[in-house]
Amino acid sequence: MDQELLTRAENGVATITFNRPEVMNSVNPAYLYRVIDAVQKFDDDDSVRAIVLTGNGRSFCSGGDKAFLRDLTEMTPAQIRRTVYKSFLGTTRAIKLCSKPTLAALNGPAVGAGCEIAVACDFRIASSSAFFCENWVDLGIIPPLGGMYLLPRLIGLERASNMIMRATRVFAEEAKAIGLATEVVAPEALAEAARKFAEELASRPRSAIAVAKQGLRRGMEGSLAGEWEFNLQAQAMLISGPDFAEAIAAMEEKRKPAFK
């Protein structure tokens, strides 16, 4: 069993836990390959309908570990590109392109790559002790894992500029106020709040959730005309499927639908 990356699945909800508290859940390429494998495994598991990412200890994820950051100074641009794209960017891509809804349960700070991982998730629940920080500029570099694209769309250009160009920390309550966090809870209530949130997502029809995720992602990237065309095709497919029929039957029979 991987003691540094804990995984479990229960009641349709998979949980991936960063378990390197002694280094504030910092990450390196080898570790992130294991995260990618875990996300893909749960995405392929039909019994899993939602995925939670969280951390043990005082940090959600503090970004790249120091040894790896030192190694980067010895790499060529081509080596750096391969490392970033295969492991670091590979992680945020796996999360963002996952067909299942994803939830970051921030038990503490999400810094650097940790912030990018949280932003790649569909939802974020934050402990009151958590904060988001894109600290890349303080290292003389930029956020390369999707945050510069996603953050302006989540919180607006000026707020995103503050996070990226000034490395400002966005604490939990402010994150909720600006739309970066869905909920803020006490530290001791985080696990239960994340479980309930994920189970509520897991109770919804899987096909519709998967297509909605795809449509929302496409909507950020494409044109309205293109999205109308895609959405009509997707809707026709969903209407002809079993979940829609079950929803209509449940409505007529005045009961809760049992999506399968």
As beta bridge partners, residue 103 has: 52, 123
Q: What percent of the chain has pLDDT over 90?
A: 74
Tens digits of residue pLDDT in 107-148: 999 999 999 999 999 999 999 999 999 999 998 899 999 999
Task: Provide the pLDDT for residue 240.
Answer: 79
Is 99 or 81 the better-scoring residue by pLDDT? Answer: 99
**Whether pLDDT at 19 is above 80:** yes
Evaluate if residue 233 carries a pLDDT over 70: yes
Would strands 131-133 and 169-171 be described as parallel, antiparallel, or unpaired?
A: antiparallel
Q: Taking 70 as the threshold, does the pLDDT of residue 224 lie above it?
A: no
Residue 1 pLDDT level (bands cut at 50, 70, 90):
low
Domain ranges across the chain: 5-202, 206-253
Which pLDDT does position 207 carry in this prediction? 93
**pTM above 0.75?**
yes
The conformational region for residue 156 under phi > 0 = left, psi -120 to 50 = alpha, else beta, is left
Q: Does an H or E element contain 23, and which? A: none
Q: Where are the alpha helices (DSSP H) in the chain?
A: 29-44, 66-72, 77-83, 89-97, 113-120, 147-155, 157-165, 172-178, 190-202, 206-221, 224-239, 242-253
Average pLDDT over residues 222-247: 78
| Tokens (6 digits) for 120 | 């790649």
Interatomic CA distance for residues 172 and 130, integer angstroms: 6
Band of pLDDT at residue 93, cut at 50, 70 and 90? very high
The better pLDDT of the pair 82, 5 is held by 5
The reported pLDDT for the residue numbered 222 is: 75
Confidence of residue 196 (pLDDT cuts 50, 70, 90): very high
C-alpha to C-alpha distance for 140 and 98, rounded to whole angstroms: 31
Give the C-alpha separation, 52 to 39, whole Å. 10
CATH class of 5-202: alpha beta
pLDDT at 227: 66
Q: What is the pLDDT of residues 45-86, one digit of tens each?
A: 999 999 999 999 999 999 999 898 888 888 888 888 888 888
Q: What is the mean pLDDT of residues 206-211?
A: 94
